[in-house]
Chain A
Amino acid sequence: MNIIKSHIYSLLEKDQRLDGRKFDEIRKNITIEYGVSPNSAEGSARVKIGNTEVVAGVKFEVIEPYPDQPDKGTIMAGVELLPLSSPEFESGPPNIWAVELARAVVDRGLRESGAIDFKSLCIKKNEAAWAVIIDVYSMNDDGNLADAIGLCALAALKDAKFPKYDEKSKKVLYEERTNKGISLKEMPIPVTVIKIKDKILVDPSLEEEECADARLTVTTLEDGRVCALQKGEREPLTIEDVENMIEMSIKKGKELRKLFK
């Protein structure tokens, strides 16, 4: 067996993690920076969890609403795992991991939580509505990109301000930004918990991710309700496992939520 894996196992038996953290301890240095691309993106942010770093940006476009939702706008989330951020990532179109992150962590969290009032994105019923497009890019992978990506998408949305829309010419005037932001009704916070053997660990480091038997990303709301779940890796989980992991995510979600205040 891989020496790193066996070492992680033997340390876990003594209730120790490779980097000295407790099982329910998130990395200490987490930062959120707003407006990292203020001139071009309508909203942008950078999130660091330890050495893991991602950036996200929001662009607005005007679309014709879908016929079955004539008074609603839409959101679209994309994630790219850049080859710049890790020797493991290749150039090319987003791989399945990136797509999973975009759908499960960003998109689902935002949609299911009711964070965005899609009606508020309507410009003119049946004719025009805002499409909010969030793009998240990994800048350095040191484990747990999932949570960094989820948090960064939120931060970029918080930072976003609508550009002006000229109804006559039907053009978006990107050079003219309004003071109006997207009012987020909820802040869905993702927390990833992994299971190695029978131990449950939050905010996995790079080495821990590679040994994870199972992974659960739990997205929670302020009142503690769960709004998105995504299980990964190969091993099955018992109901008790899931309950414990959700417990831990709710607790840690509260801590992370404070970063946005």
Chain B
Amino acid sequence: MYKKRSDGRKFDEIRPVEAKVGLIKRADGSAMFRIGKTIAIAAVYGPRELYPKFLQDHSKGILRCNYNMMSFSGSGERVRPGGSRRSKEISMLTESALSPVLDLSEFPGAVVDVFVEILQSDAGTRCAGICAAAMALADAGFNMKDLVSAVSVGRVEDKLVVDLDNVEEHYEDEREVADIPVAIMPRTGKITLLQMDGICSKEQLSKAMQLAQEACKKIYEVQKKALMERYKI
């Protein structure tokens, strides 16, 4: 029985969230998203020329994401620089989480680059990266059907939890934890990213997705506020 979370949160409570837009002046758009101790910074450059040429799509621009963890961002040992299979996978996931909202038809053959750097990680980095990237794209002025908000939900023993922290992600008994990152288009509640590590019943999964939608509503409000703050009179 999972009785209490290490930081005393309720099971459906997210950690404190903070966001800021427009911090990287040279980029076309940028944002920082922080959830608990996890800090992600995203910057957008584009549209720009895409090489090699065979990757170009002549009907519209393409989105290319690059997720990277700074060497000192992990709470234990130093992270070897240069990316890994994990960071490549997350780069691809970030791209597929954001593509559905973007309209890049005005930029055929071009690429829009999104760079996500993790400054500090305490679980939920891929979701934080997606939240930051979505704000950065909006900051850059791209046409987007919606923002994208993301959070990890999951199961620890018998409880469904929202926003797993590091302790929960590395729960002692692997069979008793499931980690489910979810990205959502807030307007319609539709899902653009869904992954799971662990085991869940289908009822638990349904409930987990609902919890994700609820949590993303709160995250969306923070993202919205940060975007408005940027241009506040």
Residues of A near any B CB (own CB < 8 A): 36-42, 44, 51, 53, 55, 57-59, 61, 78, 80, 82-87, 91, 93, 133, 135, 137, 139-142, 172, 174-175
Contacts and interface: CB of A to CB of B under 8 A. Distances in A.
A165 B162 CA distance: 34
Interface of B: 23-27, 30, 37, 39, 41-43, 45, 48, 66, 68, 70-78, 81-82, 113, 115, 117, 119-122
Contacts of A38: 120
A140 B24 contact: yes
Contacts of B68: 82
B70 A59 contact: no
B81 A83 contact: no
Chain B binding site: helix, strand, loop or mixed by DSSP?
Answer: loop
Contacts of A84: 24, 27, 30, 41-43, 115, 117
A37 B76 contact: no
Nearest to B166: A39
B124 to A, nearest CB: 13
13 contacts: A39-B120, A55-B70, A61-B78, A87-B26, A87-B48, A93-B82, A133-B78, A135-B81, A137-B117, A139-B41, A140-B23, A140-B26, A142-B25
Contacts of B82: 93
Given A40-B120, A44-B72, A175-B75, A83 B115 contact: yes
A251 to B, nearest CB: 29
A42 B39 CA distance: 16
A78 to B, nearest CB: 7
A85 B26 contact: yes
Contacts of A139: 24, 41
Contact of A37 (B30, B70, B81, B113): B70
Nearest to A86: B26
Given A57-B72, A59-B78, A141-B26, 5 more contacts: A37-B120, A40-B75, A40-B122, A84-B43, A174-B75
The 6 closest A-B pairs by CB, nearest first: A57-B72, A41-B72, A84-B115, A59-B78, A135-B71, A84-B43
Contacts of A175: 75
Contacts of B119: 36-37, 55
Nearest to B83: A91
A10 B30 CA distance: 35
A87 B45 contact: yes
Given A84-B115, A139-B41, A40 B72 contact: yes
B164 to A, nearest CB: 16
